[in-house]
Structure 1
Amino acid sequence: MSANGVELGVESFGDAGDPLVLMVGGTTMLSWPDALCAQLALGGRHVVRYDLRDSGASTTLDPENPAYDLRDLAADAAALVAALGAQNAHLGGIGVGGMVAQVAALDHPDRFCALTLVGTRPVAPGPVDEDLPDHDHALMEALFAQPMPDWTDRDAVIAFAAIGAELLGNDREAERARAARIWDRTPSSDPAVHQANQLGMVFARIDCAPRWRERLGELDIPTLVVHGRTDPFFPVGNGEALAAALPGARLLVLDEMGTALRDGAADQVAAAMLEL
């Protein structure tokens, strides 16, 4: 779908006449489980999940040298609401998509009526604020110790994803299946594109300035913050700080969750989102 001058890969669930829930990929749309999207649709929502630029089925130019910034990605979200024919939307963001969602809601307040932020934090990639817990040191050592796969080899990429899943507190088989789906949706044989799609590395290469954490008090819309208690990449203190900075936000901590939403949490998360 065309929005803000780019083509964005989208997938819809439910009736287009129902209130819109727009779900920002982190970086591909498959960060949002099918089961959650289906539950929201059963709850009377038109759910649209989409891929960020340079990922999935969205416009991919040069993921190693992206010529856009965080605020362009935020503008994509706002433009997509209009392209879908809605006045406004409940905006969901997961991981780095949660950073996009925060800035989108701040920069385009007329387009978003509610916010769900999953497994994210209130600052950009890079050095973290002193009051926020950084990535688990042992995790990062273990991740960087893993040899990169041949990004042109589907089986090797899937096996690599399974190893990472265990380190990140995620379900090994679910991550194998997701990696396979990401691979199969990638409209390119370029190994750099496959790597960007699987790891979301393109986001760390974009300009995320200026800071937005100090502006979060401006977001006077219903907000749900979901975080995994065992998340080693963005430890749960990040979600706690995010919820504390957002007026009236509800914090939902999932005991069995690492970095990824699990299908088993779909009912609980969907119920909380439908209350916003």
Structure 2
Amino acid sequence: MIQPATAPTDHGWLDGRLPYYRVGDGPETFVFVPGLNDAFDGTPNWRTAQVLGQAYREFTDEYTVWTVGRPRGLAPGTTTRDLAGSYATVLDELGGAHVVGYSMGGFIAQHLAADYPALVDRLVVGASADRLGERGVSLVERWRELAERGEWGRLYESITGETYVGWRKRVYSPVVRALGGSFAPSNPADVVVSCDACLEHDTGERLGEIDVPTLVVGGTEDPLFPESRLRATKEGIPGATLALLRGAGHAAMDENHDQFTGVVRRFLRDESL
């Protein structure tokens, strides 16, 4: 049962293009850049707003939290750096913000911080790195193939099976296998374009351009971004901090919620992790 959100929530479209959810009314602002799952989402809705109100409840006294998605109907060949430009417009209107990018959102956030440092106060690269690991490439290539063929049930099952490591993996997988085929994304082509953008992404040569306080945080059991990639990303960003969540997978923000959000909160407050 979904409980009422513990903070004010709002949702809609920014400039008629970018779906958003706003949670809380704290004095500081942070923008959450979601992962590949954003390509599966449709119109912003009340139910998701309530879920996010619960997910961000630890932040809303201090922050106004914006979850901002990508434009729908992405052009083929759109890159993560292209998408960073859309977020720069949002950050400019907000007067700058802390940026938390998760998975594909972490890819976008790296370009955002490198290209528009004046708009990013502090950067969190969550469950992400300078590029996919070797297994991550294989998985995203597989997901792209399934999306292109419209095999949504198999795609959802694969994503669930690979991103979770705990009880959710055992419980969710049979459910999405049975029901996933009934829930095609509103914009199926966006999934393919987003997979291509992830496969093309490589900021290894750009990490040194990121000149804002940065936290790299991820799980040691993440098949998309292994510990070696997290460490390489931390080493490439001047002054960056690394937080490894032992035993956590790619869905650490969900499965290890308290641990993940605790690390992020302390980093945003400039406290010891």
TM-score (norm: length of structure 2): 0.70
Change (3 A) 1:136 1:89: same
The answer for unaligned runs of 5 or more in structure 1 is 53-57, 126-133
Counterparts of 1:39-188 in structure 2 under 5 Å?
A: 39-41=58-60, 43-52=61-70, 58-62=71-75, 65-66=76-77, 68-83=78-93, 86-123=94-131, 134-136=133-135, 140=138, 144=142, 148=146, 157-158=152-153, 160-170=155-165, 171-172=168-169, 173=171, 186-188=185-187
The answer for unaligned runs of 5 or more in structure 2 is 1-12, 42-47, 269-273
2:215 is paired with a residue whose SS is strand
- Pairing 1:224–2:233 present: no
Equivalent residue in structure 2 for 1:21, among 22, 30, 38? 30
Change (3 A) 1:234 1:266: same
Change (3 A) 1:48 1:185: farther
Counterparts of 1:235-250 in structure 2 under 5 Å?
A: 235-250=226-241
CA distance in 2, matches of 1:243, 1:151: 37
Change (3 A) 1:47 1:150: same
Total equivalences in the alignment: 240
2:251 is paired with a residue whose SS is coil
- CA displacement, residues 185-222 of structure 1 (integer Å, 9 cap, x when unaligned): 9445xx545x549xx4242477x5xx643342343322
The match for 2:261 is: 270
Tell whether the 8 Å contact from 2:106 to 2:128 is kept in structure 1 after alignment: yes
1:136 is paired with a residue whose SS is helix
- Pairing 1:259–2:272 present: no
- CA displacement, residues 134-155 of structure 1 (integer Å, 9 cap, x when unaligned): 3239x94898499948976xxx
1:40 is paired with a residue whose SS is coil
Name the % identity: 22
CA distance in 2, matches of 1:175, 1:260: 14
Amino acid aligned to 1:9: P
Tell whether the 8 Å contact from 1:28 to 1:51 is kept in structure 2 after alignment: no
Greater RCO, 1 or 2 (C-alpha within 8 Å, sep 6+): 1
Amino acid aligned to 2:135: D
Deviates more, 1:227-236 or 1:30-39: 30-39
TM-score (norm: length of structure 1): 0.70
